């Protein structure tokens, strides 16, 4: 698996979680390869996840306010990506910014297909890419 790395350094706790998840993947490689349609590359980079947060305002009614969550990507394929975050993401549909440190112009809409609690208070997620996000999202 090829590794792509960029951006600021990853914290020691996050790196421990990434290493542990990589070891899980190595043990289950045959099983995982049979389930996946696209090859994966390690992709270690800070990403941001935007989720709609419903807020209620008395006079104006419900309004969607985007909430940004910082995450670290694990791996990437044409179909989706795996990432870790210390924040629990409950929403199924999100917008993923692949390059927040470089202006944030690579954004994709994603559908959450996997959630599991990892170690060190991190969560691991799998997202399927649905479409490219527009500039206004």
Give the pLDDT of residue 40. Answer: 72
Listed in sequence order, the residues at least 6 apart from 39 whose beta carbon sits closer than 8 Å to its beta carbon are: 77
Q: What is the CATH number of the domain that holds 90?
A: 2.40.10.220
- Which is more confident, 129 or 4? 129
Q: Is the pLDDT of residue 62 over 60?
A: no
Give the pLDDT of residue 93. Answer: 94
Asked if residue 60 belongs to a domain, the reply is yes
Give the pLDDT of residue 55. Answer: 45
User: Of 104, 101, 97, 105, which is closest to residue 129 (Cα–Cα)?
Assistant: 97
Listed in sequence order, the residues at least 6 apart from 18 whose beta carbon sits closer than 8 Å to its beta carbon are: 10, 44, 72, 74, 84
Angle at CA 95, nearest 5°, toward 52 and 29? 125
Highest mean pLDDT, choosing among 44-58, 96-110, 113-127 = 113-127
Percent pLDDT > 90 in the chain is 34
Asked if residue 126 belongs to a domain, the reply is yes
Q: Is the pLDDT of residue 12 over 60?
A: yes
Q: Is the pLDDT of residue 47 over 50?
A: yes
Asked if residue 72 belongs to a domain, the reply is yes
Q: Among the residues of 2-110, which ranges form H helices?
A: 12-27, 29-35
pLDDT tens digits for 18-40? 988 888 777 766 655 556 566 67
- Which is more confident, 91 or 133? 91
Asked if residue 39 belongs to a domain, the reply is yes
Expressed as residue numbers, the domain containing 63 is: 3-132
CA distance 58 to 16: 45
CA distance 88 to 90: 6
Asked if residue 85 belongs to a domain, the reply is yes
Asked if residue 137 belongs to a domain, the reply is no
Centre a 10 Å sphere on the Cβ of residue 27 and count the other Cβ atoms it contains. Answer: 9
pLDDT tens digits for 63-107? 555 588 999 999 998 899 999 999 999 899 999 999 887 776 789
Quote the number of domains for the chain: 1
């Amino acid at each position: 698996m090829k590794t792509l790395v960029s951006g600021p350094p990853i914290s020691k706790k996050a790196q421990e979680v990434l290493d542990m998840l990589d070891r899980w993947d190595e043990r289950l490689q045959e099983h995982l390869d049979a389930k996946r349609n696209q090859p994966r590359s390690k992709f270690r980079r800070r990403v941001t996840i935007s989720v709609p947060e419903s807020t209620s305002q008395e006079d104006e009614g419900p309004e969607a306010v985007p909430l940004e969550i910082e995450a670290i990507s694990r791996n990437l394929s044409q179909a989706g990506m795996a990432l870790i975050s210390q924040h629990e993401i409950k929403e199924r549909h999100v917008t993923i910014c692949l390059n927040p440190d470089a202006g944030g112009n690579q954004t994709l809409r994603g559908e959450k297909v996997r959630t599991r609690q990892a170690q060190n208070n991190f969560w691991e997620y799998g997202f399927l890419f649905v479409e490219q996000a527009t500039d206004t999202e």
